[in-house]
Amino acid sequence: MKRFLAGAAVLASLSAPCLAQTTARQAQPGFNLFTVNQDVEIGRQSAIEAEKQLTLLNDPSVDRYLNRIIQRLAAVAPGAQYPYHIKAVNASEINAFALPGGPLYVNRGTIQAARSEAELAGVLAHEMSHVALRHGTHQASRAYLAQSGLGILGGLFGRQSSAASIVNTVGGVGLNALFLKYTRDDEYAADATGARIMAKAGYDPAAMANFFELLRTEQSRNPSKVEQFFSDHPPPADREARIRQLASSLGTGRSEVLGGFSTIRADLSRLSATGTQQIVEQVPNPLIPDTATVGAGPVQVARPSSRLVRFAQPNGFFSINYPANWRAYPSGLAVTLAPDGGVLTRSDGRQVLLYGIIVNHYFPFTTEDTRRNLSLQRNYAPFEDRTLPRGRLEDATDDLIRTVLSANPYLHTEDEAAQPEVVSGAQGFSMVLSGTSPVTGEEERVTVYTRGLSDGHVVYMLWVVPGRDYATMDRTFARMLRTLNVNDAAVHQTAGMASRYGPLP
DSSP string, 371-424: HHHHHHH-TTSS---TTS---HHHHHHHHHHHHHHHH-TT-EESSSSPEEEEET
DSSP 274: B
- pLDDT average, residue stretch 43-48: 87
Q: Which residues pair with 359 in a beta bridge?
A: 335, 461
pLDDT higher at 173 or 73? 73
Dihedral sign for Cα atoms in the order 74, 78, 83, 84: negative
- 348-365 pLDDT, tens per residue? 555 677 899 888 887 665
**pLDDT single digits (tens) 80-108:** 899 999 999 998 888 899 999 999 999 99
Q: Could you tell me which of 121, 30, 131, 122 has the C-alpha nearest to residue 83? A: 131
How many Å apart are CA 310 and CA 329, to the nearest integer? Answer: 13
220 CB contacts (<8 Å, ≥6 apart)? none
| Nearest of 215, 245, 248 to residue 230 by alpha carbon | 215
Taking only the tens place, the pLDDT of each residue in 187-200 is 888 999 999 999 99
Residues 3, 438: contact at Cβ < 8 Å? yes
Banded pLDDT at 489 (limits 50, 70, 90): confident
Give the largest CA-CA distance in the chain: 83
Report the DSSP pairing between strands 103-107 and 85-89: parallel
Residues in the chain: 505
The answer to whether 30 touches 489, Cβ cutoff 8 Å, is no
Residue 162 has pLDDT above 50, yes or no: yes
Burial of 254 (0-12, 13-18, 19+ CB in 10 A): exposed
Q: What is the mean pLDDT of residues 281-307?
A: 67
Please say whether the beta carbons of 100 and 94 come within 8 A.
Answer: no
Q: Which of 85-94, 145-154, 217-226 has the lowest mean pLDDT?
A: 145-154
- Residue-wise pLDDT for 418-437, tens only, equals 888 999 999 899 999 899 98
Q: How confident is the model at residue 299 (pLDDT cuts 50, 70, 90)?
A: confident
pLDDT category of residue 225 using cuts at 50, 70 and 90:
low
| pLDDT at residue number 182 | 80
Nearest Cα neighbor of 406 from 431, 433, 383 is 433
DSSP string for residues in 47-105: HHHHHHHS-B---HHHHHHHHHHHHHHHTT-SSS----EEEEE-BSS--EEE-TTSEEE
- pLDDT of amino acid 196: 93
328 bridge partner residues: 337
pLDDT at residue 460, as a whole number = 87
Q: How confident is the model at residue 401 (pLDDT cuts 50, 70, 90)?
A: confident
Q: What is the pLDDT of residue 502?
A: 32
Per-residue pLDDT tens digits for 102-134: 999 999 999 999 999 999 999 999 999 999 999
| Mean pLDDT along residues 302-309 | 95
Mean pLDDT over the full length of the chain: 76
DSSP assignment letter at 501: S
Strand pairing partners for 451? 428, 459
SS3 495: coil
Query: What is the per-residue pLDDT for 302?
Result: 94
Burial class (CB in 10 A: 0-12, 13-18, 19+), 116: middle
Closest by CA to 169, choosing from 348, 409, 437, 319, is: 348
* Under 8 Å between Cβ of 21 and 76: no
Given a contact cutoff of 8 angstroms between Cβ atoms, the answer to whether 11 and 360 are in contact is yes
pLDDT given for residue 227 in this prediction: 61
pLDDT value, residue 146: 57
pLDDT confidence of 286, banded at 50, 70, 90?
very low
For residue 37, pLDDT over 50 is answered with yes
C-alpha distances in Å from residue 135, one per residue of 124, 184, 352: 15, 12, 29
Query: Which percentage of the chain shows pLDDT scores above 90?
Result: 33
413 DSSP β-pair partners: 433
Say what the pLDDT of residue 223 is: 65
